[in-house]
Amino acid sequence: MSLTQVSAAKVFGGWHKQFSHASSSNHCDMRFAIYLPPQAEKQNVPVVYWLSGLTCTDENFMQKAGALRVAAELGLAIVAPDTSPRGDDVADAPDGAYDFGLGAGFYVNATQTPFAQHYQMYDYVVNELPKLIEQHFPVTTQRAISGHSMGGHGALMIALKNPQRYASVSAFSPISQPMNCPWGQKAFAGYLGNDQQQWRQYDSSELMKASPVRDHIPALVDQGEQDNFLVEQLKPEALVDAAKLVDYPLTLRMQPGYDHSYYFIASFIEEHLQFHARCIIDNS
């Protein structure tokens, strides 16, 4: 599979680059960003996958989170995919809504017309993208996954379904129980249909409740107490309850005063990357 370089910029001794490629999962061109720390010039480095939230592309995290200095210090690559398939023939929300369709793929494999043709973000993030990254860049197969809001749901859900593929998982302000909030219900109904049994396989709180001890990996979640979406959409208490039920190694921190924005992410991203670096070392 060939990659087309879109941009390259030296930063903190490493390189931030964007690439586009034909995606076999999504049947369209996809763009992603990668940060390669300076250590990658001499050795293969582990990768933290970052999944962004509604309305984002590969650019929001790389430009706003302040993660690259820390990744350079820790010797971590970061890969940020787009949040949905894109292109003229990719179906969007009929009303152009920000929380469904383009920029809002929810990291699931859609089964419903007309979305099933391109919206296969679960396969893309779990299988296609890591394969591509491990084929083309100086990285190891040590992986961690993190994300924000819709991407926090994506990171937790993907790690819970594929614990053998990741050393650790973290999230900022995740949609913790998508089956039980307006954003999640709209997306799951649109992409997966009305059978709620189909929704369960992508709901982090449901997955955590069913997770056997052998599949537990370290999980860190930060949630701002002044987040406008906290009560209606994010519901971190569902995750806390699920973790208690199965004794899942989840640390969930309520952070007073912080909102839903990248200012919040920038405030704690260093601790998240340090957490992932520690877990990757412990795992190797």
Residue whose CB is less far from ligand GSH, 58 or 206: 58
235: three-class secondary structure by DSSP = coil
Is residue 170 a contact residue for ligand GSH (CB under 6 A)? no
Compute the CA torsion angle 273, 275, 278, 280 (nearest 10 deg): -70
CB 58 within 8 A of CB 32: yes
In the annotation, is 215 catalytic?
no
- Which of 36, 45, 54, 269 forms a contact with ligand GSH (CB under 6 A)? 54
Choosing from 146, 173, 227, 276, which is the catalytic residue? 227
Which of 14, 37, 46, 53 binds ligand GSH (CB under 6 A)? It is 53
Minimal CB distance residue for ligand GSH: 53
CB-wise, 108 or 217, nearer to ligand GSH? 108
Classify 235 in phi/psi space as left (phi over 0), alpha (psi -120 to 50) or beta: left
Q: Which residue is catalytic, options 25, 84, 149, 170?
A: 149
Terminal C-alpha separation, the chain:
29
Closest CB to ligand GSH among 105 and 130? 105
Walk across the sheet containing 169-172 and list its strands: 4-11, 14-23, 28-36, 77-81, 45-51, 139-148, 169-172, 219-224, 250-255
Residue 60 vs 120, nearer CB to ligand GSH: 60
Which residues lie below 8 Å from residue 14, measured CB to CB, with a gap of 6+?
35, 36, 37, 38, 39, 40, 68, 71, 72
Of 261, 267, 274, 283, the residue at the interface with ligand GSH (CB under 6 A) is 261
Assess whether 88 carries a catalytic annotation.
no
At 267, which helix (H) or strand (E)? helix 262-283
Helix (H) or strand (E) holding 204: helix 204-209
Active site residue 260: yes
Interaction between residue 98 and ligand GSH (CB under 6 A): yes
**Would you count residue 132 as binding ligand GSH (CB under 6 A)?**
no
Residue in 23, 39, 60, 204 binding ligand GSH, rule: CB under 6 A: 60
Cα–Cα distance, 91 to 117 (Å, whole number): 9
Residue 188 C-beta: closest distance to ligand GSH, Å: 16
Active site residues: 149, 227, 260
> Which residues form the interface with ligand GSH (CB under 6 A)?
53-56, 60, 64, 98, 148-150, 260-262
